[in-house]
Structure 1
Amino acid sequence: MNRETLPTASAAGQQAPADRTGVALEDVWVYPGDQGKGQAAKPLLQSIRCRIEPNTITLIAGTAGSGKTTLLQTIAGLMPLSRGAVRYGAHSLWEDGNRLHALLHRSIGIVFQYPERQLFADSIEKEFRYSLRPYRLSKAVQAERIDGALRQMGLPTDILSESFLTLSDGQKRKVALATTLATRPTWLLLDEPTAGIDPQGVGPLLRCLKQQKEAADGGVIVVSHDLDTFLPLADRVLILHNGALAAAGTPQELLARPELWLETEIGLPSALQLMAQLREAGTGMGIEGTEDVPLTAEAMADRILGPRERESHGTANPKTAAFDGVRKAESGTGAFGGDYAAESGTAVPSGDYATEHRTATSGEEHAAESPPEASILAAGTSEAKQAGAARMGAAAQLLQQLHPSAKWIVYVLLTAAILMQHSWAGIGVSALLTGSLIILSGVAYRSLLRPAKPFLYFIVISTVVSGITIIFASDSWLPERIYFSTAPASKTFELLVRFLFVMLLGILLAVTTGAKRMQMALEQALSFLERFGIPVAPFAFAATLLMRFLPRLLQEMDRMLIIVQARGKSQAKKGSLRLREIPVFLIPFLLSMMKYAEDLSLTLEARGYQLKRLRREGMARLPWTRREWICIAAGVLLFAVLYMWAL
C-alpha cells in the first residue's frame, strides 16, 4: 500500500501549477510575535509542506499545542508567515508588502471555536449585514443569502429581529455559523466545530460540510480532537506534532500505522482501540486488518458478525456488546464513543499489541517499522528542547529561580532610586539599568511592550501638549503666536519616562515570577500577621488572581482582534483596529471577560473559598539561600550608587 510521507526538501521550492486549484503550503514557517532576545527561537509551525485538494474534507489532528489552530489561521491569512508561501491555485495568499490578496481573503470563511462569542450587534439581521458588507452585494442578494443560510442551519426567519443576548448558546452558535455560510466561501475552515455542541446539532453540521465539499473549486478544512466524528467524513488527514507535519494521507492509510498515533501522543482512535481489544480477546481480528479499518459502527459490526447476522441478532449477540455505547454515536456524536473517550491521555491499548509495541520501541525492530518522519520528528523535538535550554543564560535562570520576596525588595530599591533621578545623566543610567535587566531576563520584549504601549502613547502626547505654547493678543481671543517650547516638554518627558522604567520593572517582576510562586512567597512573608488574627491567604490569593487575570486579558484581546479581522475581511496590519471596528471588538471582548470572571467566581464558590487550606496543604516552602542575600546586597549597592548620582 502506498503511504504518503513528508515531501523532501527539494520539493519545497516548487510552485503549484497554474492550471491546478486547491491550497498549497510551501515550506511554511511561523514564529510567535512575542519572541524575545535570549529566548529559544521555537517556531509555532515549521517546514509545513502539503497540498489540500479541492472538493475534499481535510481533517487536521494533533494534541493540544501541536499547532492545529495556528495552521488553520495561517491558511486563512490571519497569521503572517515568517517564511514560505500559501497558495490558492496559482495565486499567493500574501502579496507584496505583506498584504493579503483581497479576492482570496474574501473567498475564505473561518469559524472559530465557540463562535457565539463573536456576536455584537443588537439584532441578528445586523450580524448578517456586517459579515456581508465587504462583498458589496445588493439588498436583494443579501436577503437571499441570509434566507438560505438560515434554512441551511434550521433557523426561523423571525430570529433576525432578535438580539443575540436573548438566544441560547446553541442558537448563538448556529447564528454565528450561518453568518459565515451567508458569505458563500469557497473554502470553509472550522476550529473544533463540535466543541460544546449537543448530539442533535452534529447531524446538521455534517450535512453542511458535505454540501460545502461539493461546491465548485472549494473544500472544507476542519481542526478537531473529535476523531470519531470526522475520520469517517474526511478525505485526507494531516497530523501535526510540535508544530511540524508528522504525516498526511487518507484515514485508512494513517489508521494502518497505529504507532504513528501513539508517537504523536494523540492516542489510538476508537476504531483501532476496538480492534486491539478484539485481537486481545482472541477473535482473530485486530491489528493485521488495519489496512481496511471500519470507520463507522455499522461497518465495524459488519466486519465482526457479517451483515446478515448483525441484522438478525442486533446488539443481543454477545460479540456486539462492545457496541452498546458505540451505536449511539451514529445519532450525531461520532462513529465511535463509549469508554475509550474517557480513558487517560496515553491511550496505549492493553494486550498483545501493547506488549509488541513496547518491545519494538526498545529494539532495532522499531527502527525498521517506524515511519522515518516520526523518528526525525522525535529527534528534532529533543534537539529543540536542548537548544532552548542552552540559549537561556545563567542570569535568566537565576532571575526565574530567585525567591519572589528577594526580587520584590530589589524592585522597591531600584524604583525608589529611579524616581530620585532629576538629571538626564541619571535618566540615562536608569534606562541602561532597566534595559540590562530586561535583556538578562530573556523575557520576550513584546510581553513587556504590550502593557506599556498605552503609557508610551501617553508620554508622547503629554510631551507634545506640554511643549505647545499659545500667546493670545491682549484685545482678542485669537492666538497671536503659537510655538513649541522645549523646556516644559523636556520636563514632562523627564518626569514620565521615570515612571515608564518603574512600570517596565514591575511587569518584569510579574512575568519572571509566576502566579503560584508569588502566592507562596506572599503567604510566607506575611504569615506572622496571622498571629494577630489578620487573614493572609485571601490577600495572597487576590494578588495571584490579578496576575492570572492580566495575561488572560491580553490573550483575549489577541483572539478578538483576529476574529474582527476575519469577519470584516480587514486588510489592516495584524493587531490593529479601525475606528468602525471598535464595537465589533469591544462588545464581545467585554462579554468574554465577564464570562471568564463569572466562571472564576463559580469555581471559587464551588470550592468553598477554602483559601487557607490552599496554603497549608500544598507545596514545600520556597527556599531562601545565599543567592537571595547576594541579590539584595546588589540591589542595595545599586540603590546607593543611584542615590549618590541623584545628589
Structure 2
Amino acid sequence: MDITFDHVSYTYQAGTPFAGEGLQDISVTIHDGSYTAIIGHTGSGKSTLLQHLNALLKPTSGTVTIGDRQITSETSNKNLKPLRQQVGMVFQFAENQLFEQTVARDIAFGPKNFGVPEAKANALAEQMVTLVGLPASVLSQSPFDLSGGQMRRVAIAGVLAMQPSVLVLDEPTAGLDPAGRRDMMQLFAKLHREQHLTVVLVTHQMDDVADYADHVLVMDHGRLVKTGTPREIFADPVWLTANQLGLPKTTQMAMALQRRGFKFAELPLTTSALAAALLPQLPVKAGERDE
C-alpha cells in the first residue's frame, strides 16, 4: 500500500492569530514494502508529517492518498477506522498508552474495538506477544509489573494485533539503553523482513538510518528538502552539518581513519562495511596470510 503526498501543506490553528505552518508543499511517495526514515532537527515537521499517514491530521491543502483512500481538508472523520487499522502508529514512550489490567486484555483491546470477536482477539494477543519476543507467561500479568522495555513491547504488540500494512514509529527507542535500543531496532527489522510490513521511522539516530532504512526523507521548517538512499543522504557531510544533522558513528570513524592514511573507495555507513574495507589495509604478521 503506497502513501502519496501531493502538494500537501498543513497549518496549525488555521484562521487564528496563532496560525503556524506545520508542512509546506510536500510531494513524496512512501512505497509499499519500503523502510523509510524521516530525519530533521527538532521542529522540522517530522511528527506533523507522520500524523498525516493515517489521517490523525488532515492537510490544509493538497491530498494524501493512502492506498485507495484520498484524504483532503474536506474529508470527514466518519469511516476512517479501516484506514487507521491499516496504518499502525507507535508513538514515543508507547508504554504510556497501556491501561488494561492484564497484558492479554491490553493487546486484545484494539482488535475488539474494531469488531474482532473476543476469541480471535485473544488468539491474536497470544501470537503478538510471541512475535515481539516476550514469553507467553506475561499475558496474565499486569503490564505495569513489567520492565520499561517489556512494557514498550506490549504496546507494540497491541499495534501489531491490528494487523496493519504500515508500521509508523515515532522515536520508538527514546529512553532505552543501548542494548534495549539495539533489540528494539532488530525487532522492527525482523517485522519488516518477515511480515513484509512497510516501516516509517522518525529518528535522531543516524546509525539506525544507515543500518535499516532504504529510503530517507529530510525535513526542515516544514519542508521536504532532500530525499534519497542513506548513501545519497550521507554523501555530503557539509550539507548535513548546515542542516543540523550528523553522520553515522561508523562514517565518522572512517573519516578519522582517512586522516591517518586509510583509504576508502566510498565512506562506509555500517560497521560491517567498515570492517570489510579495513581488513585488506591492516598489517599482517609473518606467516598469517598462508594459514
Q: Please state which band the TM-score falls in when normalised by the shorter chain.
A: 0.7 to 0.9
AA aligned to 2:27 is R
> What's the counterpart of residue 111 of structure 1?
90
Equivalent residues in 2 for 1:62-81, closer than 5 Å: 62-81=40-59
Q: Does 1:301 align with 2:281?
A: no
Distance of 2:234 and 2:212 partners within structure 1: 14
Judge conservation of contact 2:104–2:122 (CA < 8 Å) in 1.
no
Distance of 1:218 and 1:93 partners within structure 2: 22
Q: Does 1:179 align with 2:179?
A: no
Judge conservation of contact 1:27–1:47 (CA < 8 Å) in 2.
yes
Distance of 2:14 and 2:63 partners within structure 1: 22
Judge conservation of contact 1:29–1:82 (CA < 8 Å) in 2.
yes
> What's the counterpart of residue 288 of structure 2?
none
> What's the counterpart of residue 200 of structure 1?
179
Judge conservation of contact 1:116–1:172 (CA < 8 Å) in 2.
yes
Equivalent residues in 2 for 1:577-588, closer than 5 Å: none
Distance of 2:84 and 2:23 partners within structure 1: 21
Distance of 2:160 and 2:51 partners within structure 1: 18
Cα deviation, 1:468-487, whole Å, max 9, x if unaligned, reads xxxxxxxxxxxxxxxxxxxx
> What's the counterpart of residue 219 of structure 2?
240
Cα deviation, 1:489-521, whole Å, max 9, x if unaligned, reads xxxxxxxxxxxxxxxxxxxxxxxxxxxxxxxxx
Judge conservation of contact 2:10–2:24 (CA < 8 Å) in 1.
yes
The answer to which structure has the higher strand fraction is 2
Q: Does 1:251 align with 2:251?
A: no
Equivalent residues in 2 for 1:78-477, closer than 5 Å: 78-93=56-71, 97-99=75-77, 101-214=80-193, 218-285=197-264, 289=265, 292-306=266-280
Cα deviation, 1:299-344, whole Å, max 9, x if unaligned, reads 112212339x59x78xxxxxxxxxxxxxxxxxxxxxxxxxxxxxxx
Unaligned runs of 5+ in 2: 286-291
Q: Does 1:26 align with 2:6?
A: yes
Judge conservation of contact 1:60–1:238 (CA < 8 Å) in 2.
yes
Normalised to the residue count of structure 1, the TM-score between the two structures is: 0.41
Distance of 1:217 and 1:84 partners within structure 2: 29
How far has the Cα of 1:62 moved from its partner?
0.8
Distance of 1:106 and 1:298 partners within structure 2: 37
Distance of 2:120 and 2:25 partners within structure 1: 42
The answer to which structure has the higher helix fraction is 1
Q: Residues 182 and 102 from structure 1, CA distance in 2 versus in 1: closer, same or farther, beyond 3 angstroms?
A: closer
User: Which of the pair has the greater relative contact order for Cα pairs under 8 Å at 6+ separation?
Assistant: 2
Identity %: 31
Q: Residues 142 and 189 from structure 1, CA distance in 2 versus in 1: closer, same or farther, beyond 3 angstroms?
A: same
> What's the counterpart of residue 37 of structure 2?
59
Tell me which of 35, 39, 42 is aligned to 2:20: 42
Cα deviation, 1:91-120, whole Å, max 9, x if unaligned, reads 214595432643222111000100111111
Cα deviation, 1:348-404, whole Å, max 9, x if unaligned, reads xxxxxxxxxxxxxxxxxxxxxxxxxxxxxxxxxxxxxxxxxxxxxxxxxxxxxxxxx
Distance of 1:254 and 1:113 partners within structure 2: 25
How far has the Cα of 1:249 moved from its partner?
0.6
Distance of 1:305 and 1:212 partners within structure 2: 32
Q: Residues 170 and 106 from structure 1, CA distance in 2 versus in 1: closer, same or farther, beyond 3 angstroms?
A: same
**Residues matched between the structures, number:** 284
Q: Residues 138 and 204 from structure 1, CA distance in 2 versus in 1: closer, same or farther, beyond 3 angstroms?
A: farther
Distance of 1:29 and 1:185 partners within structure 2: 26
Q: Residues 145 and 293 from structure 1, CA distance in 2 versus in 1: closer, same or farther, beyond 3 angstroms?
A: farther
Q: Secondary structure of 2:155's partner?
A: helix
Judge conservation of contact 1:186–1:216 (CA < 8 Å) in 2.
no
How far has the Cα of 1:214 moved from its partner?
4.2
How far has the Cα of 1:74 moved from its partner?
1.6
Judge conservation of contact 2:132–2:153 (CA < 8 Å) in 1.
yes
Cα deviation, 1:206-229, whole Å, max 9, x if unaligned, reads 343234324787400000111112
How far has the Cα of 1:268 moved from its partner?
3.1
Normalised to the residue count of structure 2, the TM-score between the two structures is: 0.87
How far has the Cα of 1:78 moved from its partner?
1.1
